[in-house]
Amino acid sequence: MNHTTILGIIPARYASTRFPGKPLVDIGGKSMIQRVCEQAQKVLKNVYVATDDDRIYNAVTQFGGKAVMTSPQHQSGTDRCNEALSIIEKKENKTFDIVINIQGDEPFIDPALLETLAGCFRSSVTEIATLVKPLTEPDDLWDANKPKVIFNPSYEALYFSRSPIPYLRQYPKEEWTARYRYYLHIGLYAYRSDILREITNLKPSTLEMAESLEQLRWLENGYKIAVRLATHNSSGIDTPEDLARMLKKGLPY
């Protein structure tokens, strides 16, 4: 695939209720955001950080990365990506066909995940793509912070939920994960650029507001989300405790 038409954007905010200043936390001598950038650059030629904070912008430029300043008013990473796309296209004087929205709190994201996402767009009908992984820990089925997803035989998402889906009515709940293959959503997205511009103009939907999952707005408005199985694990750092656990295990590289 020609990666010159793909733009990797890493939305990064300084303000975080659970972990303020997270993008700049030191992990083995490098900031979290630098590690995310370096992983993305292993497969993507064009990688930018989109932030609303001078401290993050300056840190990125100091290690040689690319960054753009965006509005502090955005409600989601998708909205920030949309503004960043317009700024970057003017800055680079070129257009990008695909945007990959890369989580800024996954310092050791496997580049293979980005390759898998990019590969979805070999099909010209793909509008939006995301990744899923089989649920392996039974407790995750009941964890509202780990959205579940169901999809059709064509690997198109049918629904995302913080609740277990489907509900196995005929079995005791402790048997559900043994009786059915559940899937967790990995919060990486890629969009055709024209679709990204469209979905950020949509008003919040009832399902989105009910579950607090922005991808439901897209489904509710008739957009198709292609899903692919992740062959590598992906884990974000949401809290200082998450970081401490990762450091205790040792840095993967």
Query: What is the per-residue pLDDT for 3?
Result: 45
Residue 33 lies inside a defined structural domain of this protein = yes
CATH of the domain at 180: 3.90.550.10
Instruction: Please state whether 8 falls in left (phi above 0), alpha (psi between -120 and 50) or beta.
Output: beta
Sorted by sequence, the CB contacts under 8 Å of residue 77 that are 6+ apart come out as 11, 101, 103
Query: What is the per-residue pLDDT for 20?
Result: 81
Residue 220 lies inside a defined structural domain of this protein = yes
Instruction: Please identify every stretch of the chain with a pLDDT value under 70, giving residue numbers as ranges.
Output: 1-4, 17, 232-235, 252-253
Residues 107 and 119: beta-carbon distance below 8 Å: no
Sorted by sequence, the CB contacts under 8 Å of residue 83 that are 6+ apart come out as 50, 70, 71, 74
Residue 49 lies inside a defined structural domain of this protein = yes
Calpha distance 30→26 (Å, rounded): 5
Q: Name the domain boundary from 61, 93, 108.
A: 108
Query: What is the per-residue pLDDT for 135?
Result: 95
Length of the chain: 253
Query: What is the per-residue pLDDT for 252?
Result: 67
Tally of domains in the chain: 2
Q: Are residues 57 and 76 in the same domain?
A: yes
Residue 246 lies inside a defined structural domain of this protein = no
Query: What is the per-residue pLDDT for 240?
Result: 79
Q: Are residues 98 and 143 in the same domain?
A: no
Q: Are residues 20 and 95 in the same domain?
A: yes
Q: Are residues 15 and 88 in the same domain?
A: yes
Sorted by sequence, the CB contacts under 8 Å of residue 225 that are 6+ apart come out as 127, 128, 129, 130, 156, 157, 215, 218, 219
Q: Are residues 104 and 122 in the same domain?
A: no
Calpha distance 39→102 (Å, rounded): 10
Q: Are strands 128-134 and 183-192 parallel, antiparallel or unpaired?
A: antiparallel
What pTM was computed for the model? 0.92
Per-residue pLDDT of 89-140, as tens digits, reads 999 999 999 999 999 888 989 999 999 999 999 999 999 999 999 999 999 9
Query: What is the per-residue pLDDT for 1?
Result: 45
Calpha distance 107→70 (Å, rounded): 22
Residue 248 lies inside a defined structural domain of this protein = no
Give the residue numbers spanning the domain of 160: 115-185+194-234
Query: What is the per-residue pLDDT for 145?
Result: 87
Query: What is the per-residue pLDDT for 2?
Result: 47
Q: Are residues 167 and 68 in the same domain?
A: no
Residue 80 lies inside a defined structural domain of this protein = yes
